[in-house]
A and B are shown apart, each in its own frame.
Chain A
Amino acid sequence: MSIFKPATAALLLTAAAARAEGPGLGQPLEAADIPFYATYVKPDGTGLPAGSGTAAQGAEIYAAKCTTCHGETGSEGPVMPPVGPNDVWAKPAGSYWPYATTLFDYIRRAMPLEAPKSLSDDETYALAAFILERNGVIDADTAMTAETLPAVKMPNHGNFTDVWAKQGAKPW
């Protein structure tokens, strides 16, 4: 058996080398040409822009831009209400998600549905503050900023099992 091992290793190396050889037609990508949605704000806050917003400011923007889909107070829906607990959605974003940073990134890139990427950074911080405050996760006076948002302790954090880490691609 052992005599086959070097041969197999050589074969694998050849395969890897062959695979690496493309025609090399990629063009250099400058940092200035990477739009924000090609990255994601990390749980530690890396990637958060300057700016700030409070729950009170967020309430006004929410009333103008979000109620038709997510409900008057954020818990009615019909679409996945972000405020919980509610009767519609067992995973309300403002209390179920493990990290508050995701609220900022997702709202900035994707919401409102018909006009994604139309909100300013201040507006986005304010909407995140509003949703967190309505869920009782932060108090009404704390403005959300690049410093305060990643420091928010989400109540459901620690209640997740990472299946990939536990068993890789084996279906749960």
Chain B
Amino acid sequence: MTRSTIDGAALDYAAGGGLLSRRTLLASAAAGTAAGLLQPRMAQAEAEIPEWTKAAGARARGYGAPAAAESAVQRAIIEPWQDVAPAFSLSGTPHHKLRGTITPSGLHYEVHHGGRPDIDPARHHLMIHGLVERPLQFDLDALERYPMVTATHFLECAGNSLFNAVMPEPMQAGCDMLHGLVSNTEWTGIPMAVLMEEAGVKPEGKWVVAAGADGPSLARSIPMEKVMSDGMLALYQNGERIRPEQGYPMRLLLPGFEGNMNIKWLTSLWVTEEPVHTKDESGEYTEILADGSSVQFTFAMGVKSFITHPSSTMTMSGPGFYEISGLAWTGAGKVAKVEVSADGGTSWAEAALAGPVLPQALTRFSLPWHWDGSPLVLMSRATDETGAVQPARADWKARYHASNFLHYNAIQPWQVTAEGAVQNVYL
């Protein structure tokens, strides 16, 4: 147990449960630390010198890897039918073990409907055909010569947070299992509009059916409007070629739209007048509402947030100072504000957002907190620039059929017990 040296009584509180003002604490904490450092210490001749400080280190290497001591930082694998259909497999980003906003490429979430294909880039082509003046195909060498753009965007599976959506009792698991099907990447590639205009879309071409080169040839109908406004043919992920898990050698990127539409291993763009009602837009990625009817073509992801530090499965190391930190995003544009409550929603304080706040990108929020050791419930509530606010779980559930697990964006409450255990709860 590590005791904080900060005097709780002297702090500038912003809301109940020990939430501190996002503006003042850093200043006072810094002053406290500085005061501590001013006490000069005697140099100790007998102090231990670790062996790595008394030897030459390892040589340079061609491709780096995380520190060996960090080997437990892994994606959480979710395989609902691993005995009969292991290729249908998912993995979630361990957000509770990460900080910042960019998801390391090797920890980006995966949802594979028919496994990860092993593609020879020399034999991969992108076709643009259908209602176009000039049906075209592009190989990777040709695409490399196009002007490229770079943008940071989240991808979120429509099924992210599915356990909270459907389990009658809250599952006790980390953020990797509970909310891991969202990740954030700096993508580089070619604006889709450049390629579509080269092919020459005919006036009646209003939709694009995108298909992948994976076993199931996953296909989705996408409005031309979206493809032309900010669609990207992504070739690079955080500066290096897209990982096989994310669509090597190329994927479609549709900022803010559900992950399933951002076709990985993209090989075909077929321009049509209407959506063609592919398998995913007919069943799996439609939502049944409370009245038994369904909604389809629900493309953009709603406003959402959750606290990563502290979060479910973690243990507090004693009363005192902590920084509450988490992630917020919205498919509708930018996050406008995130509020945090440490008393189960009775009072709220506004968190600081780490800038720049980018559209359709994960935004890190934080708020200083002085925990007095008593049990309480932490939660975060995001509002986006359109004014949309995260709902409470009961309000979200009331809109949908009991079986629906898609587009869940309810507020995530974490219970902190007197012993310091952090647990998933429904409120």
Question: Restricting to B133-147, which residues have a CB under 8 Å from any CB of A?
Answer: 134-139, 142-143, 145-147
Residue of A nearest to B130 (CB): A39
Given A79-B81, A109-B217, A159-B294, A90 and B403 contact (CB-CB distance below 8 Å): yes
Which of the residues A26, A40, A116, A163 comes within 8 Å of B296, measured between beta carbons?
A163
Chain A neighbourhood of B218, CB < 8 A: 110
Mark each residue of chain B from 165 to 208: 1 if its CB lies under 8 Å from any CB of chain A, else 0: 00000000000000000000000001101110111000000000
Who on chain A is nearest to B132 by CB? A29
Question: Which among B113, B293, B401, B407 is the interface contact of A161 at CB below 8 angstroms?
Answer: B293
Q: Does B322 make an interface contact (CB < 8 A)?
A: no
A102 (CB) vs chain B CBs: closest residue = B282
Cβ B197 vs Cβ A19 within 8 A: yes
A171–B223 Cα gap in the complex (Å)? Answer: 15
How many contacts A-B (CB < 8 Å)? 195
- Which B41-93 residues have a C-beta within 8 angstroms of A? 80-81, 84-85, 87-88
Query: Interface segment, A51-59, A91-99, A139-147?
Result: A91-99
Shortest Cβ distance from residue A15 to the other chain B in the assembled complex, whole angstroms? 11
Contacts A69-B81, A109-B216, A171-B388 given; does A160 touch B87 at CB 8 Å = no
- Asked if A163 meets B87 with Cβ closer than 8 Å, knowing A38-B211, A79-B81, the reply is no
CB distance from A24 to the nearest CB of B (A): 6
Contact check, A161 vs B295: say whether CB atoms are below 8 A apart.
yes
Do A37 and B211 touch across chains, with their CB atoms under 8 A apart?
yes
CB of A4 within 8 A of chain B?
A: no
Given contacts A25-B142, A26-B137, A90-B401, contact A113 B300 (CB under 8 A): no
CB <8 Å contact, A169 and B226 = yes
Q: Is A148 an interface residue when CB atoms closer than 8 A count as contact?
A: no
B195:A22 contact, CB within 8 angstroms: yes
Q: Which chain A residues lie closer than 8 Å to B216 at the CB level?
A: 109-111, 113, 116
Q: Is the CB of A113 within 8 A of B294?
A: no
Is B142 within 8 A of A91, CB to CB? no
Residue B303 contacts which of A93, A169, A171 (CB distance < 8 angstroms)?
Answer: A171
Given A160-B286, A169-B226, A169-B299, 15 additional A-B pairs, CB 8 A: A21-B194, A22-B195, A25-B142, A26-B134, A26-B142, A27-B139, A38-B129, A41-B276, A69-B84, A69-B85, A80-B284, A109-B217, A116-B215, A156-B294, A160-B294
**Interface set of B (CB-CB < 8 Å, partner A):** 80-81, 84-85, 87-88, 113-114, 127-130, 134-139, 142-143, 145-147, 190-191, 193-195, 197-199, 209, 211, 215-219, 223, 226, 256-257, 267-268, 270, 272, 274, 276-279, 282-284, 286-288, 292-303, 330-332, 386, 388, 401, 403, 407
